[in-house]
Structure 1
Amino acid sequence: MDKLLAGNNVAVTEDGYLEDFNQWSKEIASEIAAEYGITLGEDHWKVILYIQEQYEKGVPLSIRSIGKSGVVSIKEFYQLFPDGPLKRASKIAGIPKPVSCI
């Protein structure tokens, strides 16, 4: 299905994840984040870029792997992306829902 984000029609799954990473932009990320009441700051972008890099390498993501990455601690990850940090951060980063997310 299509969703209007940052003035663009983008294809999203039933859960709201982008179907095509190539449609992702910082503006789209900011708009998705705003839906959750999140204003993206420098630390958010560090996490988002890390998640995208891991996705492109085919590395499975988990909350634990984010915490061990050195980018942020698990506590900071939860503070940056409350109520399901990996789901929200992945959605904002424009990647498919991680397998480790229920």
Structure 2
Amino acid sequence: MAIEVNGKTYETDEEGYLANLNDWEPEVATAMAKEDGTELSESHWEVINFLREYYEEYQIAPAVRVLTKAIGKKLGKDKGNSKYLYELFPYGPAKQACKYAGLPKPTGCV
């Protein structure tokens, strides 16, 4: 499978996650979100950029509980809760946000 952005083709797995992490660029996230009927806001980008930094540091995509806690520490309690994250990423904050961030599917996500 693949996604096309600005005339460039990016390989994805059967669930739409990027095959190669290094292929990621912001336009890819925007295109993936558009496919889901979502327009990325500043709040979405906060989470996406947070995930990319987290992955760079730990080499793993965080499960939703870890993500919620870590976001709370970095961005404040009002953002570090699952209600807020599910409003941004209704298909599952860890799963959907990691996909947009070009990261592999978090372990423990179905």
Identify whether the pair has TM-score above 0.5, normalized to the shorter chain.
yes
Determine helix, strand or coil for the equivalent of 2:53: helix
Structure 2-normalised TM-score? 0.83
C-alpha separation between the residues in 2 aligned to 1:48 and 1:14?
A: 21
**Which structure 2 segments of 5+ residues have no match?**
none
Cα shift at 1:7: 2.4
Taking every aligned residue pair, what percent have the same amino acid on both sides?
A: 40
C-alpha separation between the residues in 2 aligned to 1:90 and 1:59?
A: 10
2:61, 2:103 within 8 Å by CA — same for their partners in 1?
Answer: no
Which 4+ runs in 1 deviate beyond 3 A? none
**Which structure 1 segments of 5+ residues have no match?**
none
Q: Name the residue aligned to 2:12.
A: 12
**Structure 1 residues 22 and 38 mapped into 2: Cα distance closer, same or farther (>3 Å)?**
same
Q: Name the residue aligned to 2:94.
A: 86
C-alpha separation between the residues in 1 aligned to 2:87 and 2:6?
A: 25
What are the Cα deviations for residues 54-100 of structure 1, in whole angstroms up to 9, with x where unaligned? 11122450111221122322111000000222111111000011112
**1:26-37 aligned within 5 A:** 26-37=26-37
Determine helix, strand or coil for the equivalent of 2:104: coil
Structure 1-normalised TM-score? 0.89
Aligned residues: 102
